[in-house]
């Protein structure tokens, strides 16, 4: 039987904070509309919103946070996919592009995607930053100038080397790559006293993952910030070139339907941090000025394809730290603006996500599920946004005001998909796989590298045939000091509105070419520190080291 929160040996910082008097209002419980005033209103509590909230609260500003999802804590994280996906993810982890060809994972809870992410931590690669400098005029975004911000967030979030040995799923990537002379390396993680369980995607049950849920948000709340949960920012209201209010909808306990009550927020400054897709959607819904029609455009996904492999020995890819080995070989062996490159990693496998990602049905699918414990998986993250043939997708609004992403996959990107499936199959055979299954509706299991190579080269690369997924949504509110190229300046300020900023992954003018969380932490720490100085006239605060 599950232990009650009070009898758990694991300290729960959220329950302790609530007991100490944090100002947290669950909008599903409101029986009347609410008005609230603040210096700064922040929409979203994920990577960008969390970092911004802590820095502004430390600067002595009165902060109000608005979050569409619920406030959950370690006592709620039971390592059950069936509970975690509906409670913690956008659209119950079933968000898709309009044509249903790409599955998109994004968080929807206090902490955003950081509550459910897999802890891989990389600084923004230098060649991505050089591309931004050259093509988007982001002159102060060099590896050197951002380095102090990355260092600051690495210290704050305990980002560092992972001391335990990689699990078998990751070690197979290391061994297969080594056999072929392909360089691979260890991934840094944002964890503190991690139990090496492997269920990060369902919320960390031991509070080891240094997500926004257990770091920056508690810190902001302890400094007097107010948090509204189950509260959807519906529209920003404008007068001239200023935002004068934010109108929010209270959602019911399940977080799905409006209760009929509204929350009206009035602030001196507003920070949109709802994440890619949702941030441009809020701005589109509000009718924010967008003379160049840039809002929602250039939305990137790191389109991700998967290759499964069967082994005689158990792999148990659900157990142990999720992603600890990577290879950038196929990013580094071609020019950033040449043929599309890809990063290789070994994702965690859990039965529900595995069953719904693998192709096939009926007896064949059941047979594959029986091999779950013996299955190894690799994924390839394609680096989109650096070529005219990979200019990303476009967010628009459906009739009910909710967002939808169109992401057409060009022949240029499909060619990268084919090459990525080849690279992964070759590594898997080199690691000793007895069969490799490229995740594609028309693919079979192949028992030799030769057979796999022939088949992968002959597959039809079309939407819904090749399984494409994404957990890295970026762009849609492009950052550039040239208003013709971007709607937000290099200081995170919305060009057309004096008191509006965007601080999240939607700022990126291309994809990152690496898992994005640390890029968001470092860049929004820089932007929030600048904003703190603008609003207080004082130097920015230093972050606590906890
Ligand atoms: C399963 C999974 C695994 C991942 N693994 C990794 C990894 O290992 N390493 C890595 O670097 N990255 C990883 N990522 C990606 C990374 O977590 C995200 O890129 C990052 O958290 C995005 O930060 P953000 O601030 O842009 O948005 P988010 O963190 O997604 O936060 C946005 C928040 O805003 C809220 N919101 C949106 N719209 C509204 C609205 N209208 N009103 C109120 N609230 C709103 C959302 O509910 C959400 O809580 C992973 C993501 C997922 C889903």
Per run of 10 residues, the mean pLDDT along the chain (length 546 residues) is 58 96 98 98 99 98 98 97 97 97 98 98 98 97 98 98 97 98 98 97 98 98 98 98 98 95 98 98 98 98 98 98 98 96 98 91 92 98 98 98 98 98 98 98 96 98 97 98 97 98 98 98 98 97 80
Q: How do 231-239 and 242-251 pair as beta strands?
A: antiparallel
Pick from 402, 343, 354: nearest CA to 81: 354
H or E, element range at 284: helix 278-285
Q: For ligand 1, atom 2, which residue shows the shortest CA distance?
A: 117
Q: Of 226, 228, 177, give the one whose Cα is nearest residue 57.
A: 226
Residue 1 confidence (pLDDT): 36
**For 314-400, where are the alpha helices, taking DSSP H only?**
329-332, 351-357, 362-370
* Ligand 1 site, residue 278, Cβ cutoff 6 A: yes
Alpha helices in 162-209 (DSSP H): 168-180
* Mutation choice for ligand 1 from 111, 379, 517, 524, CB with most ligand atoms inside 8 A: 517
CB 373 within 8 A of CB 314: yes
Give the C-alpha separation, 319 to 315, whole Å.
9
Residue-level pLDDT at 55: 98
**Using CA atoms, how far apart are residues 452 and 446, in angstroms rounded to an integer?**
5
pTM of the model: 0.98
Q: Is 144 exposed, middle or buried (0-12, 13-18, 19+ CB in 10 A)?
A: exposed
- What Rg do the C-alpha atoms of the chain give, in angstroms? 22
130 Cα–ligand 1 center, Å: 25
CA torsion 217-220-225-228 (nearest 10°) is 0
| Domain 23-72+109-158+210-291+479-545 falls under CATH 3.50.50.60 | yes
Atom of ligand 1 nearest to the CA of 89: 53
Ligand 1 atom 36: the closest Cα is on which residue?
274
Q: Is 516 in the pocket of ligand 1 (CB under 6 A)?
A: yes
């Amino acid at each position: 039987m599950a232990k009650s929160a009070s009898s758990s040996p694991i300290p729960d910082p959220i329950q302790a904070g609530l007991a100490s008097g944090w100002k947290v209002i669950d909008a599903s419980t409101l029986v009347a509309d609410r008005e609230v005033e603040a210096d700064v209103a922040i929409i979203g509590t994920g990577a960008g919103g969390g970092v911004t909230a802590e820095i502004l609260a430390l600067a002595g500003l009165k902060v109000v946070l608005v979050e569409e999802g619920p406030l959950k804590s370690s006592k709620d994280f039971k390592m059950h996919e069936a509970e975690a996906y509906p409670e913690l993810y956008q659209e119950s982890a079933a968000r898709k592009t309009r044509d249903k060809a790409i599955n998109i994972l994004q968080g929807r809870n206090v902490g955003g995607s950081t509550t459910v992410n897999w802890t891989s931590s990389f600084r923004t690669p230098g060649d991505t930053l050089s591309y931004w400098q050259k093509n988007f005029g982001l002159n102060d975004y060099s590896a050197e100038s951002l380095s102090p911000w990355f260092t600051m967030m690495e210290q704050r979030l305990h980002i560092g080397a992972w001391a335990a040995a990689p699990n078998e799923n990751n070690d197979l990537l290391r061994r297969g790559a080594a056999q072929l002379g392909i360089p691979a390396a260890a991934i840094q993680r944002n964890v503190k006293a991690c139990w090496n369980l492997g269920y990060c995607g369902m919320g960390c049950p031991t509070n080891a993952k240094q997500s926004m849920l257990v770091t920056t948000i508690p810190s902001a709340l302890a400094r007097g910030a107010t948090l509204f949960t189950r509260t959807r920012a519906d529209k920003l209201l404008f007068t001239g070139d200023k935002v004068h209010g934010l109108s929010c909808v209270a959602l019911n306990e399940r977080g799905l339907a409006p209760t009929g009550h509204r929350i009206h927020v009035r602030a001196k400054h507003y920070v949109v941090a709802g994440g890619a897709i949702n941030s441009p959607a809020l701005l589109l819904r509000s009718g924010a000025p967008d003379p160049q029609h840039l809002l929602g455009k250039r939305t990137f996904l790191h389109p991700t394809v998967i290759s499964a492999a069967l082994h005689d020995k158990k792999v148990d890819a659900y157990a142990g730290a999720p992603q600890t080995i990577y290879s950038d070989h196929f990013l580094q062996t071609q020019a950033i603006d040449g043929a599309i490159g890809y990063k290789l990693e070994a994702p965690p496998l859990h039965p529900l996500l595995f069953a719904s990602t693998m192709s096939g049905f009926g007896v064949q699918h059941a047979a594959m599920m029986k091999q779950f414990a013996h299955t190894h998986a690799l994924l390839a993250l394609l680096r989109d946004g650096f070529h005219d043939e990979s200019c990303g997708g476009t967010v628009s609004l459906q009739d009910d005001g909710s967002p939808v992403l169109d992401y057409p996959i060009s022949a240029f990107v499909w060619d990268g998909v084919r090459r990525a499936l080849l690279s992964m199959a070759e590594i898997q055979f080199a690691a000793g796989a007895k069969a490799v299954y490229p995740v594609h509706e028309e693919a079979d299991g192949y028992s030799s590298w030769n057979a796999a190579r022939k088949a992968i080269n002959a597959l039809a690369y079309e939407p819904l045939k090749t399984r494409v997924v994404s957990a890295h949504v970026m762009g849609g509110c492009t950052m550039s000091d040239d208003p013709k190229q971007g709607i937000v300046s290099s200081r995170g300020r919305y060009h057309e509105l004096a008191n509006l900023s965007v601080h999240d992954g939607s700022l990126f003018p291309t994809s990152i070419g690496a898992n994005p969380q640390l890029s968001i932490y470092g860049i929004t720490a820089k932007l929030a520190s600048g904003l703190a100085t603008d609003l207080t006239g004082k130097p920015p605060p230093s972050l606590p080291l906890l």
